[in-house]
Amino acid sequence: MINPPSGASENIVYAARPTAMGPLVMAATARGVCFAQFGESGAELIAQLKSEFPDATHTPSRLTESHELETWIEAFAAHIAGDAPRPGFALDLRGSAFQIRAWRLLLQLPDGKMMSYAELAAGIDAPKAVRAAASACAANRIAVLVPCHRVLRADGALGGYRWGLERKRTLIDRERARQSP
């Protein structure tokens, strides 16, 4: 594991906001965003953050204490509303070496460009690891910023998405709309 997920001895600052795609919690360490997830409620997402990083200190963001996180979450909200390109701020990726390689490849994928799970596996020199590539997408803690929503089944169908197929469809449609003249 690179950057173990427990968060031992770390302070994770988080903020909860309503967005065009539902409640969002974004959290960051000193290295960057480590968690950006949608859910049914901010409280549910904060509980999930704390369970995924049980050994960290969790601090609610206050504008004066974490201006950077506040700026990031506003840029993220503008992006998912369809008003801005994907923000390119620092990420604190946590997962297996395979997962990190998959996510880094996805970070290079231009807005509006899709790929299949097989292409993702092949792109990280593991062409037979299609299921593992799909599992890496499902394990992603950083919605939209690590664009797992751009990975489709080989037949072009949406496949799965940790935060629901409707969100995946909406994200893809908005990105494609931004690419259209």
CATH assignment, 97-179: 1.10.10.10
CA distance 23 to 119: 31
pLDDT of 104 = 97
Label residue 6 exposed, middle or buried (CB < 10 Å: 0-12, 13-18, 19+).
middle
pTM of this prediction?
A: 0.88
pLDDT of 39 = 94
CA distance 121 to 29: 29
Give tens-digit pLDDT for 6-42: 666 899 999 988 888 999 999 999 999 999 999 999 9
pLDDT of 1 = 46
Beta bridge partners of 60: 14
Class level of CATH domain 11-80:
alpha beta
- Region 135-158: what's the mean pLDDT? 94
- Catalytic, out of 148, 152, 171, 172: 148
Q: Active-site residue 148, yes or no?
A: yes
Please, where in the chain does CATH 3.30.160.70 lie?
A: 11-80
Looking at this protein, which amino acid is placed at residue 17? Answer: R
Phi and psi (nearest 5°) for 89?
A: -95, 170
